[in-house]
Amino acid sequence: MLIAKMSMNRNKDKVVLTIKDDSPFSYLQEDVLVEILIRVPISDWEHISSVRKQWADLFRGEGLWQAALNRAYPLASKTQRWTGPIRQGSSKRRFMALYISKNILGVETDIDEMLGHIYLFLKDQLQLSTTPASGVLHGTMIDQLIVSGKSKEEADELVTKIWLALLDNIEDTKHTFLVLKSIAQEYDGFLPYPYSRPIKVQWKVFEKLFVDFRDLLFDHSDFRHYLIFVITSLALFVLSISPSLAQAKDGGHVSLLVSETGLDLAKDFLIHKVISTTLPLQLPEIEKKVKIPLVGKVQMGLKNIKIYAVDVRSSRVETGGDGIVLSVSGATADVSMDWSYAYKASFFHIADHGVASVKVKGMDLRTTVSLVGENGSLKIASRDSDCKVKSIGIHINGGASWLYQGVVDAFEKKIITTVEETVSNKILEKMKKLDAKLQSLPKEGKIDDNVAVNLTFTGSPVLDDSSVEVGINGLFMANGDGDKKVSGSISSFLTPRVKRMVGISIEEEVFNSATLVYFIAKRMHVDIQETKNGSALSTSDWKLILPELYKQYPNVKMMLNMTVTSPPAVNITKNGIDAIIDLEISIDVQNSGAVLSVARISVVLDVGGTAEIAANNLAGSLRLKGFNATMTWSKLGDLQANYIQDVVSTILESLFLPYVNTRLMRGFPLPFTHGFKIKNTEIVYVENGVMVCSDVAFG
């Protein structure tokens, strides 16, 4: 009977419900009215919420949705809150999630409400003006299910089901077209399984682009261009999943290019290291019987032969098809030794001994090595060393003149041969140790207890006539995830000539992998209870910015809980670094010993980034370019938009960004060996990456 009092105004095909002010509905208590409204078919709720302001307020509040939740899904009250990046939210959100789980996804599992929330999360993200990378969204959803106890295979199957259901039900608008077009053009090779989008999802995206948008967005003259785009993107997608190109997707995301001047420094360091760790170099003993005129046969011996000093006058390093060649020419060496002789004369046995020194002149050394990548390490595949000595000068302390000539005649060639063979063998021995050291380099660098960097080498070094370039995976990962076979090649996103000793190229994917891993590790959350000067946050500090907060809770402690709700998307161009951050700010107060949540604000930040060098680390800072804030829930009443903007601006500028920048300025390590330090650094921004050009010094 009450429903009969409602009338319908028809405007063409649109039905608008109205109600007279003297209707009995205006006299009903809210709890009775709620019970009536939740029994109306759900399909009519959008219409009846516009009948009266009172009804609209009911649909915006918690009470109606809590009642609807209890009536339609009575077991929902027993659902425990879960952890993970995708939370439950309000009663309205929970009702929508359960409705989607039952009616769209068609699933009844022990986490059916969670699946609905994941669906809503994906839908919300795809509706943003700047949509995060679909691979990142897929990884976030996978992570939520894994945190809840699902295996990777189960999580992948469920998330694929959610993707397909959403793509089937998404509205065909121009924004949807642009989002799907962006997804079709994405390359998600940098994300490890299971964070890459399933093939079924990618096919569905192409199907919608090919079928659903032809008549909506294009006239017949433009359709040909649209068709070319779809076919080209589809062809690239097919190529990307071809087994013949599987290795290319594993290319390095960080490359280290050592220029000619850098190679000279490495050469000098290596020569110094070899000499300092080799000398004194012991040579084998030499013995020989020599026939001396007027004396007869003399047994001569040289022992305790040592090279104790080497002076390198000229050296060079060459790179190319034969590998890396290190040449030393015209070097000299100082050798010490003990001499002795013995012979019989008539009935006498004559013997003597003493010391001698040898000056090795014109020593040339050529060492060649070839490097290959194998299972994420560098390996010396072949090595060769050749040493040639032009001449030596021998000085004997003590002994007769015949002894000098006898030693020279007997031992000159033997000493030269011994020096050449011993030095060559020692260099090969050093190369063997270097090979072992290269293969023992750590394959991951620990950043903290949760996060590490993948330091595996990808492919073999690239050599040209003046430089060497090696590729490193470089992606951030959870600690312990690096024990995987790695193959591939050096990324070609930038391989310029550098004027400094080294150039380190870091792809955009490295930064996005860092935000993803830290997000999954639940490290993008901060609770702030103090100001920058160390005093406790109080509502009295906010009475001018948020007077309603101070009015309801005067002079009490307050807390700000800030959580990043999805992995920030980093974009690098020639103009610098940009990022989009989705942030949820919860304002809590401490009232009579209890902590109360009084407001929650959803913020989308547009930030710019600057890269800097701190010691041997790549550091940086963020600056606020703009933001969009929405009050999602409040006990403070309807706040004016300018109040919300002022509150968020104060929180971001004075608390959030200073906290984030303090962490970013600590930096993350660049791939340099211990014992070196960088100087004269220049940072260059390029499309999809950052390049650090620097000189290097011992220190």
Residue 636 corresponds to which amino acid? L
Tell me the CA distances in angstroms from 140 to 336, 520, 525, one per residue in order.
70, 7, 16
**196 neighbors 160 (Cβ within 8 angstroms):** no
Token pair for 581: 């951050």
pLDDT for the residue numbered 245: 32
> 564, 472, 465: which is closest to 510 by C-alpha?
472
CA distance 668 to 617: 5
H-assigned helices in 641-684:
641-651, 657-664
CA atoms within 13 A on the CB side of 347: 0
Q: Which of 28-32, 174-178, 673-677 has the highest mean pLDDT?
A: 174-178
Average model confidence (pLDDT) across the chain: 79
Work out the percent of the chain whose per-residue pLDDT is above 90.
Answer: 17
pLDDT for the residue numbered 247: 34
CA distance 634 to 601: 9
pLDDT-derived band at 363 (thresholds 50, 70, 90) equals very high
Mean pLDDT over 296-302 rounds to 82
Q: Which of 119-123, 411-415, 622-626 has the highest mean pLDDT?
A: 622-626
Q: Minimum mean pLDDT among 100-109, 316-325, 507-516: which range?
A: 100-109
pLDDT for the residue numbered 606: 93
Token pair for 479: 């600690």
User: Tens digits of per-residue pLDDT, 576-616?
Assistant: 999 999 999 998 998 877 888 888 888 999 999 999 988 88
CA distance 348 to 295: 13
pLDDT for the residue numbered 488: 46
For the chain, what's the residue count? 699
- Is the pLDDT at 213 greater than 80? The verdict is no
Note the Cα 7 to chain centre separation in Å.
Answer: 61
User: Tens digits of per-residue pLDDT, 618-635?
Assistant: 999 999 999 998 888 888
Task: Select the more confidently predicted residue: 315 or 233.
Answer: 315
> 498, 504, 516, 514: which is closest to 472 by C-alpha?
504
Tell me the CA distances in angstroms from 187 to 42, 197, 239, 689, one per residue in order.
40, 10, 12, 15
Q: Sheet containing 476-478: give its strands across.
A: 444-446, 451-454, 476-478
> 456, 656, 474, 681: which is closest to 564 by C-alpha?
656
pLDDT-derived band at 696 (thresholds 50, 70, 90) equals confident
By three-state DSSP, how is residue 585 classified? strand
Q: Whole-model pTM? A: 0.61
pLDDT for the residue numbered 210: 66
pLDDT-derived band at 14 (thresholds 50, 70, 90) equals very low
